[in-house]
Amino acid sequence: MTENAQNCLADCVIESIHKEAAQNLVPNLTVPLNLAFYMPEALNINAQRYLQGLYLACQSIASDMTAFGFVHRELNIHKKSIQSLQELPGYYDGVIICIGARAAFLPELSGKLPLRTCRGIISHLQLGDDIREAYPEHSPSILSDAWLSVQGARRLDLGSTWDWRSRNYSREVAAGEASEAMKLLLSKASAVYPAIKRWTVTGAVAGLRAMPPLTAEGSLPLLGSVDEFVNGTHACKYWLFTGLGARGLLFHGWLGKLMAQAVLSCNEDLLPSELTSWKNKSHKQSSEIML
């Protein structure tokens, strides 16, 4: 870990610190091995707010292009639930399926994607008004067996559980499920931050991860044209973008640009072959099953 925590990038500082320095950052923090890693420039990203901001940024770029004399472009968002890709209107030139684990539930793709589904539950916690020792201002969030995403002096999110092979994509969490998840998360979090036991649970939310398959090259996203699965053709209309995993925040901008170029030029070869090879393996597996 110490060897990996090298400052290779000027704007990505990683400091290895001992117990005393760690407890100066977060009082009463438990540091079992007398070693922790501190990233002073690290950020917590709220995925929903980030995506909303990303959409607004795209909207702004479209407006700017028109203002500078380019061909008029419109960016619209249509909120509509569909059960099948066949429900999409025929006037779309291209459709990029980027709905995470839900892609595996589309009838056209069901059983054809090598995704590993995993349900995760996050607990929302708050510190009661009767407790004076709030989480110190400017203290960092904590990443350990469980993670504590600090939302302020008296609010934090605690996560996350791992329920492999689950197909429950509902964000709602039943009372019993929330209680069991909190027991598990609390035992992990209290091992590094004992004061978490004084916090009160105010709610829970769940999500279904779309984990890519494990390969010799690592866990790689699934990209590529999927017309052969949807309508048996190679028309370059339907495309898949999923399975980014924990590194999605690093990958998505670069891969999104490559995907846009591939869709506009109808050329899958613009995508890294490592990210489209899953289709060949899928066809091979299907043939073996048929034989």
Whether residue 125 is contained in a domain is answered as yes
Question: pTM for this one?
Answer: 0.85
Whether residue 47 is contained in a domain is answered as no
Tens place of pLDDT for every residue, the chain, 291 residues? 777 666 667 777 888 899 999 999 999 999 988 999 999 888 888 888 999 999 999 989 888 887 787 888 788 888 888 899 988 877 888 999 999 999 999 999 999 999 999 999 999 999 999 998 899 988 999 999 999 999 999 999 999 999 999 999 999 999 999 999 999 999 999 999 999 999 999 999 999 999 998 888 889 999 999 999 998 888 889 999 999 988 888 889 999 999 999 999 999 999 999 999 998 875 554 434 333
Statement to judge: residues 205 and 139 lie in one domain: yes
Instruction: Tell me how many domains the chain contains.
Output: 2
Q: What is the pLDDT of residue 150?
A: 94
Chain mean position to CA 189: 21
State which of 192, 211, 230 marks the end of a domain: 211
Statement to judge: residues 108 and 120 lie in one domain: no
* Boundaries of domain holding 170: 116-211
Q: Which residue in this structure is represented by tokens 């949807």?
A: 230
Q: What is the pLDDT of residue 284?
A: 52
Please state the φ and ψ torsions of residue 160, each to the nearest 5 degrees: -135, 155
pLDDT, tens digit, 9 for 90 and up, residues 61-118: 888 887 787 888 788 888 888 899 988 877 888 999 999 999 999 999 999 999 999 9
Q: What is the pLDDT of residue 289?
A: 37
Distance between CA atoms of 286 and 290, rounded to whole angstroms? 6
Q: What is the pLDDT of residue 7?
A: 61
Statement to judge: residues 231 and 175 lie in one domain: no
Whether residue 10 is contained in a domain is answered as no
Whether residue 141 is contained in a domain is answered as yes
State which of 211, 242, 274 marks the end of a domain: 211
Statement to judge: residues 279 and 158 lie in one domain: no
Q: Is 237 exposed, middle or buried (0-12, 13-18, 19+ CB in 10 A)?
A: buried
Statement to judge: residues 181 and 129 lie in one domain: yes
Q: What is the pLDDT of residue 5?
A: 67
Statement to judge: residues 123 and 202 lie in one domain: yes
State which of 211, 244, 273 marks the end of a domain: 211
Chain mean position to CA 10: 25
Alpha-carbon distances, residue 176 vs 56, 179, 205, 231, 264 (angstroms): 38, 5, 13, 42, 48
Whether residue 140 is contained in a domain is answered as yes
